[in-house]
Structure 1
């Protein structure tokens, strides 16, 4: 099960796991893109694939979608909590309240809602793997990143808490923390301002979404007795949350 599967890091994760022969349950808000991706993966890799058009912020919709799934599709072996976003880049005293709500509702509450549906089954079956997509913002706080950084710090904390609570049930929990990845992230952050978004990645080679999908595949493919708690993955040209070597 992959949330935010229609774009960004989620889409190459879907392609990677399809290539590995997994049945895929793909979740995202943009149903048309999900449908196109599912058809492409089924044709290319002869896998079973089901889509759910869903906004993870909507608790009622999450519950309804999950409860309407056939039983066999509720038996999730790998959950990739990828859905997430940033909105705005403002000092905290000038922040947009709606931006704050959207980040908190997606990055924290959305992750919790999906996990709350999936984890009881993993616990009962005494197997499963949760991979939460975090960020360098989960490890550092940078100027004007205030609430986004807070939400990703929460993802980091929740991942550690999941690991403790699920330890007796052999359910693995991992977190992948990327640095600068060139996806729709900055376009979403700047609300469609493509020129401003492009400037974020100028002068250096950022990570690609495929790089993170490779890392997720590596983490999930470890032997049963091995859990990768977390990975922090940076472009060679990035030292921390704010320092870049730009040519």
Structure 2
């Protein structure tokens, strides 16, 4: 039975990933910052598979290192890493941007991905086997007005994925990125700091992707034969053609 570690597992794409991997007989390590949600998800998934939860913030490198080092032996050989934790804060032009928002996005989207990867990759290198999936965004393929720092962090995820693929190639480790377009999760509520009306308008007049749509795609990528590596995949709702071109009914 393979083991998958998923960051940002307490909501959205991460939670949907935990459910689909549990359904498909993976041992699942769920990671997140919200203890109540982790406990609830662990109770749910334990009806299907073996589950272990880790409570930490990916932007805290000491916590990341300690948490992953604390894994019991039956969970310590991680076959699949899903670097899903990420966020967007604010949608302001660069001249009005908040330094705190910028720090939060860089710390979680870029540094957090690196901290978790640094803790997991050595084991994959030793075993000469593993699969890393980084969750990027259409914002990592293009830029849009007021997206500045968020787009920069997702461009960094794209670049890191390509670099990881090259660096880890000699060890037989598969690396790929999934870049979703509009997915209806808590993403917009976080970006707009709890303004639910503004968040709802993001998806008004179109059918966005669901977290389950993206999780199903991630599971498809991971379940390919080992000689196949899907290294770069953009997934959009049919109503979306680019970051800024959307067909609203």
Displacement of 1:120 after TM fit?
A: 0.4
| Total equivalences in the alignment | 245
Counterpart CA distance in 2 for 1:31 and 1:169 is 35
1:145-204 Cα offsets, whole Å, 9 max, x none, are 000000000000000000000001110001000000000000000011000000000001
- Which residue matches 1:22? 26
Counterpart CA distance in 2 for 1:18 and 1:123 is 25
Q: Are positions 1:201 and 2:206 aligned together?
A: no
- Which residue matches 1:97? 99
TM-score (norm 2): 0.97
What secondary structure sits across from 1:132 in the alignment?
A: strand
Displacement of 1:71 after TM fit?
A: 3.2
- Pairwise CA RMSD: 0.7
Counterpart CA distance in 2 for 1:132 and 1:113 is 13
Aligned partner of 2:233 among 231, 235, 238: 231
TM-score (norm 1): 0.98
Counterpart CA distance in 1 for 2:12 and 2:71 is 25
Aligned partner of 1:218 among 208, 217, 220: 220
- Which residue matches 1:153? 155
Displacement of 1:50 after TM fit?
A: 0.4
Gaps of 5+ in 2: none
1:94-146 Cα offsets, whole Å, 9 max, x none, are 10000000000000000000000000000110111000000000000000000
Displacement of 1:64 after TM fit?
A: 1.4
Counterpart CA distance in 2 for 1:215 and 1:68 is 30
